Amino acid sequence: MKRTSILLLASLLLTSFAIQAAAQETVKVGIILPVTGDKAKFGEIEKKSFEMALEEINAAGGINGKKLEFIFEDDTGRPDVARSAAEKLITKDKVVMLGGGYGSSETFAISGVAQQNRVPFLVATGSDDKITEQNWEYIFRLNPPVSEYPKALESFLTEVAKPKTAVILYENTNFGSSGSKEFEKTCEKLGIKVLMTEGYEHGGVDFKPILVKVKQANPDLVYMISYLMDASLLMRQSMELRVTPKLFVGGAAGFTLPEFLKNAGKASEGVFSATLWYQTLPYPGAKDYYDKFMKKYGSETEYHGAEGYASAYVIADALKRAKSMTAADVREALSKTDMMTVFGPVKFVSYDKKTNQNKLPTYLVQWIEGKLELVWPKEVASKPYLYPIDWEKIWK
């Protein structure tokens, strides 16, 4: 009897331990972002947003009772590092899917690894059009492609600014070169003559030789596709050289971060930028996310952060609906996503050459009195746009 009781007790203990172990089991997802290097400010705002969403998701029960775990990897803004990070997450950490992806070059590298290993990857930010033009069935993108960034700008140029000439400056990356080509097409469609397009290497400190050529061309519009430090320097040196087009417009990226204001100073005033999101848009939870981020981290957030936050909830939604944690079932659940997030509606569709692409409107913001304001379309504006602009009055 004693031996039977001991065996029974042991069996009960083992069962208890097994139940506890199962309860403690986590659902692992790999998130790849640049948390060091030149793109670290973008990665930082997205990582904080992923982490904030993760806390909320797990507090609400996680993935059908299991804890959701994000394993973060730093791609340092380099495609080779991004590729290695993806391989490590898939083969060593055994994640059920991948998320993140900031720079287009790094995102394309991650996508190749994910597709080859048939592991789902939800892109949060990487925007080169070709990422969703490869017929890759395991790659999904939350954000619009770079070709669609200027959609709101198009109507502003047509209805308000009506420029006749333009200059396009862009960083020599997948994001920059792709965006430049697409904006050239936009200009052609709108009857705007492109006087010059000029690429530059990331990380430069002297843009004056390029800007002297811009000043000589004297365009109505200067369109810039740049990351943070380049965006700031381009505007500061434009102010120094008194390059005075009718309007400066950024192609999102570095022109919307709070650090742009800090780095560019008064040279930021009046600058427009394409954007994908603003906290006052009528998306459920958008302003609440912004306020929670401000309270938690003591700093502002913008569209990059909203992409990270929304991505976390899309990941959680798909994993909750997946029949199992196999890659095929997770991919199937992602393909059927149809939900509202703080970033807007998410539903993956195919159009033009794209597959598994979310389709969203874009917006136009402007730095006015030291604050990034949503100015176009009019019906959702947080403040009226500033135009025409007296650069000498702003810069004196």
Kindly report the number of other CB atoms within 10 A of residue 131's CB atom.
Answer: 26
Q: DSSP assignment of 241-259, as one string?
A: HT---SEEEE-SGGGSSHH
**pLDDT band (50, 70, 90) for residue 18:** very low
pLDDT at position 23: 43
**pLDDT band (50, 70, 90) for residue 6:** low
- pTM for this structure? 0.91
CB 256 within 8 A of CB 307: no
**Mean pLDDT for the stretch of residues 366-379:** 97
Q: CA 148 to CA 251: how far, in whole Å?
A: 10
pLDDT at position 41: 95
Least confident of 41-45, 90-94, 134-138, 173-177: 173-177
pLDDT digits (tens, 9 = 90+) for 24-80: 589 999 999 999 999 999 999 999 999 999 999 999 999 999 999 999 999 999 999
Q: Do domains 25-144+282-358 and 148-275+362-395 have the same CATH topology?
A: yes
Residue 31 is inside which H or E element, if any? strand 26-33
CB 132 within 8 A of CB 354: yes
Write out the CATH class of domain 25-144+282-358. alpha beta
pLDDT digits (tens, 9 = 90+) for 244-293: 999 999 998 899 999 999 999 999 999 999 999 999 999 999 999 999 99
Token pair 């069935």 is found at: 137
Query: Reduced to 3 states, what is the DSSP secondary structure of residue 368?
Result: strand
Residue extents of the structural domains in the chain: 25-144+282-358, 148-275+362-395
Q: CA 286 to CA 278: how far, in whole Å?
A: 8
pLDDT at position 202: 81
Say if strands 338-341 and 344-351 run parallel, antiparallel, or are unpaired: antiparallel
Q: CA 270 to CA 250: how far, in whole Å?
A: 11
Considering only CA atoms, which of 266, 234, 229 is closest in space to residue 249?
Answer: 234
pLDDT at position 1: 47
Q: CA 187 to CA 220: how far, in whole Å?
A: 12
According to the CATH classification, is domain 148-275+362-395 in 3.40.50.2300? yes
